[in-house]
């Protein structure tokens, strides 16, 4: 068994034959078997070779991994004959082609018949929809897999058909969302995604109104859904994009049914990434869409709150303006509405700064009594808070690339376009790392040379980067190794903000397991990776850029790489009512991050002796730290020299209310800074060692 890669199938088979194989199974990285072309200037192999899908191969691999003997045989099909048969005898194909005449004549109005020629047009989808609705029978369900072109392709009725996946309301069978149109070349992938959504709508309507066999005069949910789709085509603009066609369905619903299905339509489309927060951008470009999975807010009939800030990155001592939006989307009034917003340690409310409601400060909690709120009423509250000048993220390692490539090593896995330090497009200073996105296969690594131990309360990596790549097919990612580089983890779930754009095409790294930054970032952005799961471990970090041999673009720039102990303000605001409503929200994307820095001799250190007590000072050989019991959770303690380097660390200490002995023997005499990292902030104190 051989996993599919980027060399010729014939070459794989010849190598296996030379090694003594009597037959070869080539495992695809997609869940389909594929045709296998020959190589170039190779002799013909003398052993048989078959292709199996990803899932079929995994079944065999798991059996063998359990020590079982697996027997595979190649047999002649019972029903011999031509590989394909005439599509003229396939009713689904006829309905599909007839559907093109309908969608072309309806779209853009009665005077136009050339309004489905833009790069995002969904004509193939409407035609597949006609095949599906004219072949549905009583007793069918939306979850049942439905293929297109089964008969023509000599497949059984329940065969997969000629599309990428079968149509089904079951997301495990048909997981299509709007991203699945990106980097496709033909109109059929566009249609597959569009009809997946309107097929969901069809069955959602059947669930409400039932199924009616009478397609002409029936009143079932299927009839109502077909009417919406037909009228949507007539109402949409010439050369529509996905959001244009979706919005035409809302118009059709208001004209036919007084808009009673608006929220149902939002729910159906949001499930496929075409929700309230989705954007089609240019309808002549299928690659620039952004998905959104939210429904129209009023469709969720709850008392809601959202919290945001005027900036997601500040310097210590800056003023933050917070914004609270409270909405009553319930069908009845909400009474006794109360908002409580937490002020984490380090934030001080600026008296008189609140607008939209009167603020009452109780300890570290702001309260706003909003009284009664009517149906669909929204109240917006803003207030300002002063941040501490001493609490911030702590820089543990930083490289702005200005001193060359000494901290990094690069490796060429495939292709010739390597990572290189250049002065084309830095974020700060004069230099950044850069790897071009050329129209050749490429796989390049850039690894931080030294492994490092992960320490701190909330350790994180931050890097600034800018990218412009072929969407979905070419992109960059970050990987982490816990075992000295023997294996590398993909970390898509560890981004605090500005994570990957989406899945990387399986044809790029021959796997379905990669997400990446791809498309156009439109300039530099900062990405944060949470390292909390690695605390106490020594890890390595690398950047990987991969491209297939198709389209060229600018490439990927990386600058200002930093390992830090992240500090952010992320207090939670909650709204409640007399009716028992309760909803809470925090500033998204990790809160308001406080910029990093190192402690140096010119800084004014703010220290709270009521929480921490350090003695003796000056000290010799041993420093004692007393931690007040009010400091909750584990703490990390670090001793830094005047250059900001850690010379001692005592991690995960929990001796609150007790004396902690910190050995300082063998350290040179001089000025140091003792830092105590807590869940609520970082406290520092100057310490002199004699």
**CA neighbor of 417 nearest in space, from 560, 514, 545:** 545
Residue 619 zone, left/alpha/beta (φ > 0; ψ -120 to 50; rest) = beta
Closest Cα partner for 596 from 464, 408, 499?
Answer: 464
Cβ 303 vs Cβ 287: under 8 Å: no
> 394 preceded by cis ω (within 30°)?
no
Q: Is 630 a catalytic residue?
A: no
For residue 179, which of 505, 545, 512 has the smallest C-alpha distance? 505
Reading the block at residue 291, the tokens are 């998905």
Rounded-to-integer distance, Cα 248 and Cα 567, Å: 46
Q: How far is CA 243 from CA 108, 232, 249, 250, 596, in A?
A: 15, 12, 10, 11, 41
- CA–CA gap between residue 231 and residue 235 (Å, rounded): 6
Upstream peptide bond of 207 is cis (omega within 30 degrees of 0)? no
Q: Cα(592)–Cα(588) distance, rounded to whole angstroms? A: 9
Residue 186 CB coordination number (10 Å): 8
Return the H-helix or E-strand segment holding 352: none
Q: 473 by DSSP, 3-state: which?
A: coil
* DSSP letter string, 274-343: BSTT-B---TT-TTS-B-B-PPPGGGS-SEEEEEEES-SEE-TT-EEEEEEEEEE-SSS-EEEEEEEEE-
Q: Is residue 447 within 8 Å of residue 540, measured between CB atoms?
A: yes
Choosing from 68, 97, 402, 579, the catalytic residue is: 97
The number of residues in the chain equals 690
How many whole angstroms separate alpha carbon 67 and alpha carbon 248?
57
Q: What are phi and psi of 651, to 5 degrees?
A: -95, 150
Strand-pairing partners, residue 683, are: 676
- 195 near 125, Cβ under 8 Å? yes
Residue among 467, 468, 473 nearest 548 (CA): 473
Find all residues with CB under 8 Å of 81, minimum gap 6, and list them.
154
Question: By the 8 A CB rule, do 265 and 249 touch?
Answer: yes
Report d(CA 451, CA 483) in Å as an integer. 10
d(CA 283, CA 281): 6
Catalytic sites, residue numbers: 97
């Amino acid at each position: 068994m051989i996993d599919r890669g980027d060399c010729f199938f014939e070459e794989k088979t010849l190598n296996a034959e030379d090694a003594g194989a009597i037959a070869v199974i080539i495992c695809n990285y997609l869940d389909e078997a594929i045709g296998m072309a020959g190589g170039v200037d190779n002799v013909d192999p003398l052993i048989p070779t078959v292709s199996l899908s990803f899932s079929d191969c995994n079944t065999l691999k798991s059996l063998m991994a359990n020590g079982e003997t697996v027997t595979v045989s190649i047999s002649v099909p019972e029903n011999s004959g031509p590989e394909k048969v005439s599509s003229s005898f396939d009713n689904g194909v006829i309905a599909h082609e007839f559907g093109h005449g309908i969608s072309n004549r309806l779209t853009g109005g009665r005077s136009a018949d050339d309004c489905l020629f833009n790069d995002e047009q969904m004509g193939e989808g409407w035609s597949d929809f006609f095949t599906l609705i004219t072949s549905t029978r009583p007793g069918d369900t939306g979850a049942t897999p439905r293929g297109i072109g089964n008969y023509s392709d000599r497949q059984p009725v329940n065969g997969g058909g000629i599309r990428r996946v079968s149509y089904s309301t079951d997301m495990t069978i048909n997981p299509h969302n709007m991203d699945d149109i990106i980097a496709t070349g033909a109109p059929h992938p566009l249609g597959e995604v569009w009809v997946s959504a309107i097929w969901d709508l069809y069955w959602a309507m059947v669930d409400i109104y039932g199924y009616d066999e009478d397609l002409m005069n029936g009143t079932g949910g299927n009839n109502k859904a077909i009417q919406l789709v037909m009228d949507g085509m007539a109402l949409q603009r010439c050369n529509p994009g996905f959001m244009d066609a979706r919005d035409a369905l809302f118009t059709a619903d208001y004209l036919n049914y007084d808009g009673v299905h608006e929220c149902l339509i939002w729910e159906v489309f949001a499930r496929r990434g075409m929700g309230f927060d989705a954007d089609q951008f240019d309808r002549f470009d299928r690659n620039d869409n952004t998905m959104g999975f939210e429904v129209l807010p009023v469709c969720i009939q709850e008392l809601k709150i959202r919290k945001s800030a005027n900036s997601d990155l500040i310097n210590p001592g800056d003023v933050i303006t917070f914004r609270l939006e409270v909405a009553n989307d319930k069908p009845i009034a909400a009474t006794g509405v109360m908002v409580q917003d937490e002020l984490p340690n380090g934030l001080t409310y600026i008296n008189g700064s609140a607008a939209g409601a009167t603020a009452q400060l109780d300890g570290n909690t702001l309260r706003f009594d909003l009284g009664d709120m009517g149906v669909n009423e929204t109240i917006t509250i803003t207030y300002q808070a002063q941040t501490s000048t001493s609490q911030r993220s702590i820089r543990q390692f930083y490289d702005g690339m200005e001193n060359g490539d000494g901290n990094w090593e690069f490796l060429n896995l495939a292709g010739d376009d390597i990572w290189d330090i250049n002065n084309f497009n830095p974020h700060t200073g004069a230099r950044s790392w850069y790897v071009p996105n050329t129209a050749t296969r490429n796989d390049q690594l850039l690894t931080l040379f030294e492994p490092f131990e992960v320490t701190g309360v909330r350790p994180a990596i931050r890097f600034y980067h800018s990218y412009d790549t072929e969407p979905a097919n070419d992109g960059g990612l970050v990987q982490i190794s816990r075992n000295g580089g023997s294996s590398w983890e993909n970390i898509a779930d560890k981004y605090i903000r500005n994570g990957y754009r989406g899945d990387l095409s399986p044809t790029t790294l021959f796997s379905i397991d990669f997400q990446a930054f791809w498309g156009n970032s439109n300039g530099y952005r900062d990405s944060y990776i949470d390292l909390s799961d690695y605390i106490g471990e020594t890890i390595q970090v690398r950047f990987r850029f991969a491209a297939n041999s198709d389209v060229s673009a600018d490439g990927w720039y990386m600058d200002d790489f930093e390992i830090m102990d992240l500090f952010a303000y992320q207090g939670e605001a909650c709204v409640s009512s007399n009716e028992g409503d309760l909803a809470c929200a925090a500033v998204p994307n990790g809160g308001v991050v406080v910029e990093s820095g190192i402690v140096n001799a010119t800084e004014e250190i703010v220290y709270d002796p009521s929480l921490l007590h350090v003695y003796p000072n000056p000290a010799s050989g041993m420093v004692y730290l007393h931690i007040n019991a009010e400091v909750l959770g584990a703490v990390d303690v670090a001793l830094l020299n005047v250059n900001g380097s850690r010379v001692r660390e005592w991690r995960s200490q929990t001796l609150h209310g007790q004396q902690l002995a910190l050995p300082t023997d063998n350290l040179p005499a001089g000025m140091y800074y003792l830092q105590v990292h807590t869940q609520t902030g970082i406290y520092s104190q100057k310490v002199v060692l004699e």
